[in-house]
Structure 1
Amino acid sequence: MQINLFECIKIFIEIIESGSFTKAAENLQIHRPAVTKALQQLEQHSGIRLMQRTTRRINLTPEGEEFYHRSKSLLAQADDLLDLFSPTHALHGQLRVDMPIAFAALLVVPNLSDFYHEHPSIEIILSSSDLRRDMLRDGLDCVLRMGELEDGEYIARKIGDIHMTTCASPGYLSVHGTPENLEQLQQHQAVNWINNSSRQIVSWTFETTSGTAELNLPGKLVLDNSEAYVAAGLAGLGLLQGMSFLLKPYLDSGLLVEVLPDYPPQPRKLSLIYPHRHLSRKVRVFAEWLEGLL
């Protein structure tokens, strides 16, 4: 029996990512029985059981889990191959992206209409989290991340540099005083940030006349969420060192005050990470748009 293997794989992926046969049929605009038949044909053709079905949920078998990851990569490479030989063809389809909350809320989403103007047929599925995501497991095409990256099975493209600012609330400074040099920082409280992948507290950096100084500051609060981080600073719980674009509204309004302006923090690298050595056209145009945005 001949089957359209790529079509069956596409339907299988949609079942997993949508969470149900019915939703997969709606998303692909096909009849529900066609979804069931495609999965049955794929299992018969491959000779393996891909998932366990119950009335309430879908569970991948161990073989189905591996098949999903490999088939997701296979279809992405097939799309890239077609794009490579038809560069004038309008880009279409889904682009699954994950990025930190602050970037999504303050930079990307407010400007997405410009991207859609250039690429109206691309559908972006954007998840925002300050936690590390597994690209293959979560079916992501690319991930936006800040800072130095750990070794891994991915490719990273530098998008730009993010400027940082050291600041505190007026209430905190009125009680604890304003530090005038780096030595005085040890008498202050810091709101620290933890790297979710390494589980290490991120060091504070400062540019000095003799080079970059990297310090670990005392503090009673460690956070991994940008919204909570700003809230802690506004509450007077300590000094902050965060992304300038995130802190700017509070600095402009006087709710936060910059400190140590003569010792600016070292900018942090922003990278777009993707799982394949060949950069797909969809990821490439999104990366170029982000570069222009920054």
Structure 2
Amino acid sequence: MQINLFESIRIFIEIVESGSFTRAAENLQIHRPAVTKALQLLEQHSGTRLLQRTTRRINLTPDGEEFYHRSKPLLAQADELLESFSSDRVLHGQLRIDMPIALAALLVIPNLPDFYKQYPEIEIILSSSDRRQDMLRDGLDCVLRVGELDDGDYVAHRMGDIKMTTCASPGYIAIHGMPESLEDLREHQVINWINSSSRQIMPWTFTTPEGTAEVTLPGKLIVDNSQAYVSAGLAGLGLVQGMTVFLKPYIDSGQLVEVLPRNPSPDRKLSLLYPHRHLSRKVRIFTEWLESLLSK
């Protein structure tokens, strides 16, 4: 099998992102020796070692890390160029995405059957976490994020807004009472959320006649995971403030009760982040599908 430089770069990127020669071969559906040959060809033409290999793991060399960061957008541009002349070609290949757990579980995954009906040859590798990811380091094509964005080396596309709700369990309210004003919150316990990147506790926000009020509230429990967050609220450990799409099923079932409806938390921005401006057709298609989903 003759491997050209273009394919060698594609194979190299797959080795880095999958973390294994064997997994790279499986993902690309080629023989394992072809992966080794592609790397050798690339190192020969670049004149430098790109990977350090041991029996247990592979690591990028400094040159390899720079080569990876610079070659990924170039490969995306090449794919975009080819696809622009083949609009009727069936989309195929992998799409690596990261998004918050709540949006993955309640919004995206339940609707993926519809996506696969339209694009059956696309394989989605979906990581769902509430931690900030490094798109280039983790080999992600796009990342869905809620809230204000940190400064970073990415391109952000505004997708819309996410409604927020403040609530508590009936058991908590039976013991501590229903807060009637923002001043009452000082006498209550909340479940606080910590930003996994900055390690700062996120302030609570409320809409008032004077504008948005941002407050830090007392709480004995701090979490960084949405599933743990709602579990704590259901257990009566304090008030929670989160995405309405995540909390509404519990409110509808009576497991949680909305509090301070006259002072709702402002909507949060929903953004899709890309590691570079040159988007593949797969990423553009997924973006358009996600926008149509959100518009409903």
Pick the TM interval, shorter chain: over 0.9
- Match in the other structure for 1:144: 144
Amino acid at match of 2:163: H
Amino acid at match of 1:158: R
The 2-side partners of 1:200 and 1:108 are apart by 28
The 2-side partners of 1:20 and 1:212 are apart by 49
The 1-side partners of 2:97 and 2:29 are apart by 23
Q: In structure 2, the residue corresponding to 1:120 is in which secondary structure? A: coil
TM-score w.r.t. the length of structure 2 is 0.93
Aligned CA distance change for structure 1 residues 212 and 56 (closer, same or farther; 3 Å): closer
- Match in the other structure for 2:176: 176
Amino acid at match of 1:168: A
- Match in the other structure for 1:228: 228
Percent of aligned pairs with the same amino acid: 76
| RMSD, aligned α-carbons | 1.7
Which deviates the most, 271-280 or 20-29?
20-29
Which string of whole-angstrom CA distances, capped at 9 and with x for unpartnered residues, describes residues 179-228 of structure 1? 01111111111111122223222221222233222222111211110000
Q: In structure 2, the residue corresponding to 1:87 is in which secondary structure? A: coil
- Match in the other structure for 2:60: 60
The 1-side partners of 2:25 and 2:196 are apart by 36
The 1-side partners of 2:211 and 2:50 are apart by 56
* 8 Å CA contact retained: 2:76, 2:278: no
Which deviates the most, 223-232 or 199-208?
199-208
Q: In structure 2, the residue corresponding to 1:282 is in which secondary structure? A: helix
Amino acid at match of 2:165: T
Poorly superposed stretches of 4+, deviation over 6 Å: none
- Match in the other structure for 1:35: 35
Q: How many residue pairs get matched?
A: 293
Superposed counterparts of 1:1-294, under 5 Å: 4-294=4-294
Which deviates the most, 60-69 or 158-167?
60-69
Amino acid at match of 1:252: D
Amino acid at match of 1:40: Q
* 8 Å CA contact retained: 2:93, 2:121: yes
The 1-side partners of 2:181 and 2:248 are apart by 22
Amino acid at match of 1:202: M
The 1-side partners of 2:83 and 2:34 are apart by 28
How much has 1:172 moved relative to structure 2?
Answer: 1.0
Q: In structure 2, the residue corresponding to 1:158 is in which secondary structure? A: strand
* 8 Å CA contact retained: 2:76, 2:279: no
Unaligned runs of 5+ in 2: none
Which deviates the most, 158-167 or 275-284?
275-284
Which deviates the most, 135-144 or 63-72?
63-72
TM-score w.r.t. the length of structure 1 is 0.94
